[in-house]
């Protein structure tokens, strides 16, 4: 058999968690498809061999330029996929966090001009270059936590020009940073202050001007998302926005049933959304419809944790009802300043009642399905991107157990080492 020359070889793993075999539901969610003592080889950023060490070593040849990583008896897993962030913004809301700790509610803070509109003001005032600089720094932090693919939403511009500016910054981040950055247009994140007394006119603007403008510029957005909630976008308005987005060629997502059971889950199923997010108050009927439609249920336990008085999504019930359950960070400056997917996995085990192996599947292959990239990332299989994390512990089941400690030792993105010994490798 001809030996295949490779430029990356990872050996010495206690276990190689492949998550092979596609997105998982039901009992399969528990199966990490781990290979004890496995090895992995890649060429030009893609995996060419994965399996027991002796088989991989027999199939590939190394040269002087091959990067050989000895995992030294620690676990090797797919890079985390974070399918839900609002990472592109200016400013911060640390003072609002302090107010909330002092007892102020999110609603009270919003009434004083804080909340999301605080971030909208700062983001509107920032240039595209400033947004890119801030975004690059945040992507570095994600990389240090083992995230290798991340979805990023717009939605702090809320005018055609400012949403385009944000999306251009997000597109530039994908080009400038090693991480894969997947852009989502979310002009329907909030009604901006200048439309407060005529929200219908903002829906018209979204449908008639903003969505077509985003669609006209290549690579600006893969998805369109709507915050379907009382006082934000009604089910009828959301349906109108999502249908227009689909006509223009976007796949769609819905922030659904976060604060009340408005029917957002059912709407997501009805419009064939790729994913529905939050779902804290989604009914069994809504969850059944998501399962039947194949819409991924994205749980964001960091938000419930950060808000302190919010319930957690009923992830166990979602699994029982046959939903594909994924985890995301919901990283944003207000309700969830959480970067690290390992911490999200801890919360998912403690508060969503997922088993450690289930939570990892939800944060890798199922998260990839939530952004339509399950054929490219989320598992370690031949042909996929060589996006790999070498942990600092011996089993993937230790990830949630080591609370708040860095469990990521090394990160490989498309075959290239970007984090080594817990530090960024500068290009
Ligand atoms: Zn969100």
DSSP 29: G
pLDDT of residue 63: 93
Mean pLDDT of 180-199: 96
pTM here is 0.97
Percent of the chain with pLDDT over 90: 91
pLDDT of residue 53: 95
Q: What is the mean pLDDT of the chain?
A: 96
User: Quick count: other Cβ atoms within 10 Å of Cβ 141?
Assistant: 14
Percent of the chain with pLDDT over 70: 99
d(CA 132, ligand 1 centre) in Å: 20
d(CA 91, ligand 1 centre) in Å: 17
d(CA 320, ligand 1 centre) in Å: 25
d(CA 205, ligand 1 centre) in Å: 21
User: Which among 370, 365, 191 is positioned nearest to 279, based on CA atoms?
Assistant: 370
d(CA 394, ligand 1 centre) in Å: 33
d(CA 392, ligand 1 centre) in Å: 30
Cα separations (Å) of 315 from 97, 332, 354? 27, 22, 7
Q: What is the pLDDT of residues 6-22, one digit of tens each?
A: 999 999 999 999 999 99
d(CA 86, ligand 1 centre) in Å: 6
pLDDT of residue 2: 61
Q: What is the pLDDT of residues 351-367, one digit of tens each?
A: 999 999 999 999 999 99
Extract the runs of DSSP E, i.e. beta strands, from 163-310: 180-188, 223-228, 251-256, 275-278, 296-299
d(CA 278, ligand 1 centre) in Å: 8
pLDDT of residue 427: 66
d(CA 87, ligand 1 centre) in Å: 10
d(CA 175, ligand 1 centre) in Å: 23
Q: What are phi and psi of 59, to 5 degrees?
A: -95, -15
Quote the tokens at residue 44. 């030009």
d(CA 255, ligand 1 centre) in Å: 7
d(CA 150, ligand 1 centre) in Å: 13
pLDDT beyond 60 at 165: yes
User: Which among 102, 128, 117 is positioned nearest to 158, based on CA atoms?
Assistant: 117
d(CA 198, ligand 1 centre) in Å: 24
d(CA 168, ligand 1 centre) in Å: 19
Q: What is the pLDDT of residues 113-151, one digit of tens each?
A: 888 999 999 999 999 999 999 999 999 999 999 999 999
pLDDT of residue 228: 95
Residue pair 227/234 in contact (Cβ under 8 Å)? The answer is no
pLDDT of residue 309: 82
d(CA 246, ligand 1 centre) in Å: 20
d(CA 194, ligand 1 centre) in Å: 22
Q: What is the pLDDT of residues 194-251, one digit of tens each?
A: 999 999 999 999 999 999 999 999 999 999 999 999 989 999 999 999 999 999 999 9
Mean pLDDT of 84-104: 94
Three-state DSSP class for residue 381: coil
Mean pLDDT of 101-119: 87
Mean pLDDT of 179-188: 98
Cα separations (Å) of 418 from 142, 237, 360, 408? 11, 43, 21, 12
Q: What is the pLDDT of residues 275-312, one digit of tens each?
A: 999 999 999 999 999 999 999 999 999 999 999 888 99
pLDDT of residue 294: 98
d(CA 186, ligand 1 centre) in Å: 9
Cα separations (Å) of 216 from 145, 221, 242, 250? 35, 10, 17, 12
pLDDT beyond 90 at 157: yes
d(CA 88, ligand 1 centre) in Å: 12
Cα separations (Å) of 6 from 40, 63, 174, 267? 10, 8, 26, 47
């Amino acid at each position: 058999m001809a030996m295949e020359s490779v430029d990356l070889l990872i050996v010495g793993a206690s276990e190689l968690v492949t998550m092979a075999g596609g997105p998982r539901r039901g009992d399969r969610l528990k199966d990490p498809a781990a290979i004890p003592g496995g090895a992995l080889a890649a060429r030009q950023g893609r995996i060419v061999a994965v399996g027991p060490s002796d088989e991989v070593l027999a199939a590939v040849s190394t040269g002087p330029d091959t990067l050989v990583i000895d995992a030294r008896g620690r676990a090797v897993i797919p890079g985390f996929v974070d399918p839900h962030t609002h990472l592109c913004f200016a400013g911060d809301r640390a003072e609002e966090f302090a107010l909330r700790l002092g007892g102020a509610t999110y609603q009270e803070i919003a009434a004083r001009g804080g909340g999301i509109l605080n971030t909208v003001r700062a983001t509107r005032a920032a240039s595209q270059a400033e947004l890119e600089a801030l975004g690059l720094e945040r992507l570095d932090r994600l990389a240090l936590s083992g995230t290798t693919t991340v979805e990023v939403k717009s939605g702090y511009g809320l005018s055609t020009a400012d949403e385009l500016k944000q999306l251009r910054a997000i597109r530039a981040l994908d080009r400038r940073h090693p991480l894969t950055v997947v852009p989502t247009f979310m002009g329907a994140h909030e009604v901006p202050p200048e439309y407060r007394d005529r929200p219908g006119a903002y829906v018209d603007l979204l449908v008639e001007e903003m969505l077509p403008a985003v669609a006209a510029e290549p690579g600006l957005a893969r998805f369109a998302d709507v915050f379907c909630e009382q006082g934000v976008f009604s089910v009828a308005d959301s349906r109108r926005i999502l249908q227009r987005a689909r006509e223009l060629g976007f796949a769609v997502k819905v922030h659904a049933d976060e604060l009340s059971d408005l029917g957002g889950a059912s709407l997501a199923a009805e419009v064939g959304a790729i994913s529905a997010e939050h779902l804290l108050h989604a009914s069994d009927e809504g969850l059944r419809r998501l399962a039947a439609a194949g819409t991924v249920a994205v749980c964001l336990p960091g938000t419930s944790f950060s808000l302190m008085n919010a319930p957690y999504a009923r992830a166990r019930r979602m699994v029982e009802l046959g939903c594909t359950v994924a985890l995301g960070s919901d990283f944003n400056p207000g309700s969830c300043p959480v970067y690290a997917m390992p911490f999200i996995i801890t919360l998912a085990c403690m508060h969503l009642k997922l088993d450690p192996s289930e939570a990892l599947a939800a944060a890798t292959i199922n998260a990839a399905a939530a952004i339509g990239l399950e054929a490219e990332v989320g598992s370690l299989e031949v042909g996929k991107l060589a996006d790999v994390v070498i942990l600092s512990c011996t089993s993937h089941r230790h990830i949630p157990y080591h609370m708040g400690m860095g469990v990521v030792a090394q990160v490989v993105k498309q075959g290239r080492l970007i984090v080594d010994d817990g530090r960024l490798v500068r290009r």
